[in-house]
Every structure is written in structure tokens, then in C-alpha cells.
Structure 1
Amino acid sequence: MNTMSPMSSPLRDLAAERRGLWLGLLGVAVFALTTPMTRLAVGPLEAPQLPPLFVTAGRAAGAALLSLIFLLLTRAAWPTRAERGALLLSAAGTVLGFPLCLAMALREVPSMHASVITGLLPLCTAAVGAWHLRQRPSRGFWLCALAGAALVLGFAWTQGGGRVSAADGWLLLAMLCGAAGYVAGARLSAARPPEQVICWVLVISLPLTLPVALWSWPPAPQAVSGSAWAGFAYVTVFSMWLGFFAWYRGLALGGLVRVSQVQMLQPFLALLAAVPLLGEPLQADTLVFALAVMACVGIGRTMPVGRTPPRVLAVPSSLNRSEPECRA
């Protein structure tokens, strides 16, 4: 008699991981437009549009209001005391730190420059996730991750002519904030429906983001271009809200360390998007680097990643009655 539960069978685990990778790719496709859309929203130094602080707080406040509606319609349970620390860490990283540092950098550098630097985010996420969630990537996996990161850095170096600016410091800080926020969100998504995770992260940030958004409201909003407002609308609805629905569920199903590597494709998708949105030229070497990074991601997917059962935060049992098995 076969005593193996269907929920824990190798085939089901493989299917869940594959689904997680596809959901992660969908999230990455949504996030890929964040950099050019943020550039549209804030504008360059010589022709500024919306203030970076307003873009950061305003997009989070707008997404929080949408989240309130979602949580009420789904009758989501309130966060438990055990979840609050991870929620605050996720909010500090994904709601405040990452978007603010990115907006500050995009006032000084083009979207394409910022896009290639953000290619370091998967490596940062994998490193933080492997340590915090007790996952054990193989040596081959780390070699693929490091090779992809080296390609991204090499591309940034050649495109920037070896120049390092203060904006690069902002971008590096953004990567660290994003990695910490993603890991905290992935841990929460192991016990609570991932859609609720980002919604609660945004809602608990609302007492801060809403006043800051009102305080930093542009003094002459009628002078802001329509394209800047369109960029702001995108980062509010998609980058700050809907994209996380797919991203956090993908991390929960496929495993944070493995799915996070799909994000290596994000900077090059952002580069392609910057051509029609911002009119920035696309050079042939961009495509060469893109193909090389995609190869690293593809090979990395085949490398084993050992798993140790993570510590699951305590949440009401009703949350998981109809949810698929989620693994951080």
C-alpha cells in the first residue's frame, strides 16, 4: 500500500515548483516596467516631474487603499503578533526603501543604467534567503548565480564607461532593501495566502505613507506631464500591488532561492521597455548580455537546492483550508 500523500509526492512538488517559476516570471515581467515608469514619473534633473518622495509614498498609499478593499472583500484575518515583525520588515524594504532609493537614483542616471544594476537583486535575495530560510543551494547553483551577477556588473561597467556615481550607491542600497523585503514576504507567504501578505504590508504602512504623500504633493500638479502621471499610476497599481500577487505566490510555491534567480531577466526586460517608453537606444551588446544571463538562469534552474523546513509563523488555521501547499 502506498502511504505517500499526494500533497507531498515528487510529481506534485515538481509541478508546484514549475508553477512557481512561471508565476515568478509573470511578476518579473510586471516589475520590469518599474524602472522606466519611475523614470517617467520623476523625470531627469534637467526636467523634473513628480518629487521622488511623493512617488514613493504616493504609490504605496494608493496601493494600500486598493488593498483595504481587497482585504475587506476576502474577509482576511488580521495579522497575528508573530507576523508583525516580518510585515514591518517587508514594508521597510519593499514599500519604503527600494522605491525611494530607486527614485533618487533615477533622477541622476538613465533607466537603462539603473536597470542593469538592479540585476544584482536576485543574488542579494538568494543570499539573504539561503541564510534566513535555511535553504542549501548547491555549489553549481551559486556558480550560476555569481556568473549571472558578474555579467550584469560587466554590462553596467561597459555601459557606464567605468564611472561610478552616487546614484550607484542609491541603487545598491535599493537592492539590499528589496532583498530583505522579499525574504520577509516569502516567509509570511509560507503560512498566509501571498495576496494577503502584500496587502497587509501596504495597509500597515498607510499611517506613514498617506501623510507623507499629502505633504510631498507636487506644488504645481497641473504642470506635471501626462506621461509622468501615467508612470505613477503604473507603479502604484502594478509595481506596488498586482505584481506582488504573482511574485510572492511564485516564491512560496517554487522556493525563494530558485525563483529569485528568474529576476536576473528583469533588467534586460526593462532595457527593452525603455526603448519605446523613453526613447533610449538599444545597442547590440545589450542583446548579447541578455542571452548570456538567460543561459545562466536556465542552467541554474537545473541545479539542486536543498530545503530545510522553515519556521512557519502562526496564523489562524482557516487561512490555509483552501490554499495549495506553499513552501518558502
Structure 2
Amino acid sequence: MRVESNVIAPAGITLGALGVLAFSFSLPATRLAVADLDPWFVSFGRAVGAGLLAVAYLMFVRAPRPSLAQIRRLLVVALGIVVGFPLFTSLALTTQTSAHGAVVITCLPMCTAVWAVVRAGERPRSGFWLASGVGFLAVLVFVIANGGVSGGLELADVFLLIAVVLCGLGYAEGGALARDLGGARTVCWALVVSLPVTVPVTGFVAATRDFSHVSASAWSGFAYVTVISMFLGFFAWYAGLAAGGVAKVGQVQLAQPVLTLLWSVLVLGEPVGGLTVFAAAAVLTCVIWTQRART
């Protein structure tokens, strides 16, 4: 299904922006969690916690069961957002900072747009790709100038790149599927179909780890990625993708690395120079540019 209108409904952008705001703290929260918790527990345990919330939600709204074809697509969504992105970012952030992760996450809007072409049937024109490329470069220059890059390619960078590719796939497939199921039910069913995998892994890891030393900050980070990053954030995000188009609304993610670094300042007290204002203005300009580019 293609998005034919030149103008995205304001609701699509608003919902997408709320989703990005929720996701922007995911890397700092994950960094807090893996400081004391096993990364496999963080990635799969958050999916179990969010999965239980999803079961409660689906029962409350009496959601009809998805068709077999929709279940197959939900498995693709689950591979990207329930398993792939949480696992590989958790593994990466055991040795890297969230600021460094923000550099690689800059690739996510472009990756989402590519998957939107492959999985969601969208065909952005050249102006869209130009705007996306300029926005990508603007954010990349910003995070590099603020010390987001430290050294060459490491295993953590490979993990982050894999996370971006899988997350882009999950975003695009979920955004397209949300046109039929709705944003909330899409993420909820993706979490539910993942439970046969996430529950055993979480149980095994929990049985082999000692949790007596885990700090309150680690548990708070785990709670955030469980309730917000893995559950509520996707309510707004998938609804926005469905309303406004995967490729276009996906470009709102250009603001995510900037927000992630700002969260690092607020939470960790790291200084950020005046370049933040310029980068924010540049990103906003590119986001508006992508929204005006015809799909």
C-alpha cells in the first residue's frame, strides 16, 4: 500500500515524534541497565515484561487474533524490534557509551527508508533521498563534533550496525502492518509471538545470575526499556508510521541521536557545546524537507 498524498497528516508526525522522544532515552537507559545486569537478561527480560503488559492490553481490548499471514509478518517485526535491536545494543553498550551508540543509530532513518521500499511498497523520490542524506550528515557531524566517536571500528560497532539493520526492518514491517492492525496491536502481538523464545532465555539467564549486587539505577534503566522503549513508545511510533508513511515519518528519527546526547548531559552531566542549537535547527529543517518531498 502506497502513501499517495503529498502532505502527511499532522497526527502522523506528532505520533512519530512522541515515539522518537520515548526511544531517545533507550541507549542511556540500556547503558544504565547493563552496568549491573547481564545484557542477555536486559534484552530478553525487557521483552518478557513488555510481553506480559501486551497480553493484558490485548485481553482488555478483546483484540481479535491476527491471521496466519499477519503472524508471519509479526515474526519479522519481532526479529527486528523485540529480539534484534535490544540484544545487539545491549551487547554493544557493555563496552561502549550511549553517545558512541548514537553515532551509529544515526543510520537508522536511512535504513528504515530502505526497508520501507523493500517491505512497505513505498517509493520516495530523489528529493526525499537528498533531504535524508543531508539530515544524516548533519547529525553525524554533530555527534562526531561532540565526541561521539572514539577510535576505529570495534566489535561494539558491528553489534550496533546489526542492531540498526534489524531495527529498520522491524520499523518498516511494523509500520506497514499497523495499517491493518493499528500501532498498539502490532507491537503487542509482536511481543506475544516472541514469548516462546524470550521467556525460556530470560528464565535460563536469571537462574544463572546473582542479582543481589544490582543497583537501583540499573533496575530503573531496565524498567524504562521494558515499559517505555519496548511497549508504550511503539504505540505512538507505529501509529505514526501507519498514518504518515514509513519512509517519511521514519525521518523524524534524525532527531534521536541529538536527543540521546542531550539525555546524556542531563543524566550523566556531560557538557555539550553551542553546536547543539545549530544541529537541532539543521535536523528540524531536514525533517520538514523530507515531509514536503512527494512520495
TM-score w.r.t. the length of structure 1 is: 0.84
Q: Secondary structure at the match of 2:111?
A: helix
Greater gyration radius: 1
SS in 2 for 1:164: coil
Q: 1:186 aligns with which of 156, 175, 194?
A: 175
Q: Which residue of the partner structure matches residue 101 of structure 1?
A: 88
**Candidates 187, 194, 205, aligned match of 1:216:** 205
Match of 2:216 in 1: 226
Identity %: 43
Q: Does 1:55 align with 2:27?
A: no
Rounded to whole Å, the distance in 2 between the matches of 1:194 and 1:226 is: 32
Distance (Å, rounded) in 1 between the aligned partners of 2:4 and 2:257: 35
In the alignment, the residues of structure 1 paired with residue 156 and residue 282 of structure 2 have an alpha-carbon distance, to the nearest angstrom, of: 26
Tell me how far apart the structure 1 counterparts of residues 112 and 38 of structure 2 sit (CA, whole Å): 28
For the residue of structure 1 that corresponds to 2:180, the secondary structure is coil
Contact 2:120 2:173 in 1 (8 A): no
Aligned pairs, how many? 290
Q: Give the structure 2 partner of residue 123 of structure 1.
A: 110
Q: Does 1:254 align with 2:239?
A: no
Q: Equivalent residue for 1:22?
A: 14
Contact 2:176 2:241 in 1 (8 A): no
Gapped regions of structure 2 (runs ≥ 5): none
From 181, 198, 204, the counterpart of 2:187:
198
Partner of 1:166: 155
Q: Which runs of 5+ in 1 are unaligned?
A: 1-7, 44-48, 306-328
Contact 2:143 2:257 in 1 (8 A): no
Contact 2:119–2:173 (CA<8 Å) still a contact in 1?
A: no
The yes-or-no answer on 1:280 pairing with 2:270 is: yes
Query: Which residue identity does 1:252 align to in structure 2?
Result: A
> Could you say if the C-alpha distance between residues 113 and 291 of structure 1 is closer, same or farther in structure 2, counting changes exceeding 3 Å?
farther
Is 1:83 equivalent to 2:75 in the alignment? no
Say what the alpha-carbon RMSD is for the aligned residues. 1.9
CA contact (8 A) 1:157 1:163 kept: no
Q: Which residue of 2 aligns with 1:311?
A: none
Separation in structure 1 between the aligned mates of residue 139 and residue 262 of structure 2, nearest angstrom: 15
Q: 1:130 to 1:276 in 2, by over 3 A?
A: same
Q: Distance in 2 between matches of 1:178 and 1:291?
A: 26
Aligned to 2:279: 289
- Match 1:42 to one of 15, 34, 44: 34
Residues 164, 284 of structure 1: alpha-carbon distance in 2 compared, 3 angstrom cutoff: farther
Q: TM-score, normalised by structure 2?
A: 0.93
Aligned partners of 1:263 and 1:9: how far apart in 2?
Answer: 22
- CA offsets 1:163-212 (integer angstroms, 9 cap, x no match): 32221111111100001111111121111122111101001111111111
Query: Whole-Å Cα distance in 1 between the matches of residues 237 and 112 of structure 2?
Result: 13
Query: Relative to 1, partners in 2 of residues 1:161 and 1:237: Cα closer, same or farther, differing over 3 Å?
Result: closer
**1:32 pairs with 10, 24, 27, which one?**
24
Any conservation in 1 of the 2:127–2:293 contact (CA below 8 Å)?
yes
Distance 1:154 1:198 in 2: 33
Partner amino acid, structure 2, of 1:206: L
Deviation at 1:275, TM superposition (A): 1.4
Q: Would the alpha carbon gap of residues 216 and 139 (structure 1) be closer, same or farther in structure 2, given more than 3 Å must change?
A: same
* Superposed CA offset, 1:17-56 (max 9, x none): 211010000000000010100000002xxxxx10100000
The 3-state SS of whatever aligns with 1:19 is helix
Distance 1:300 1:188 in 2: 22
Distance change in 2, residues 1:280/1:106 (3 Å): farther
Contact 1:116 1:268 in 2 (8 A): no
Shift of 1:261: 0.3
1:308 is aligned to none
Inter-partner Cα distance in structure 2 for 1:9 and 1:52: 42
Change (3 A) 1:155 1:168: farther
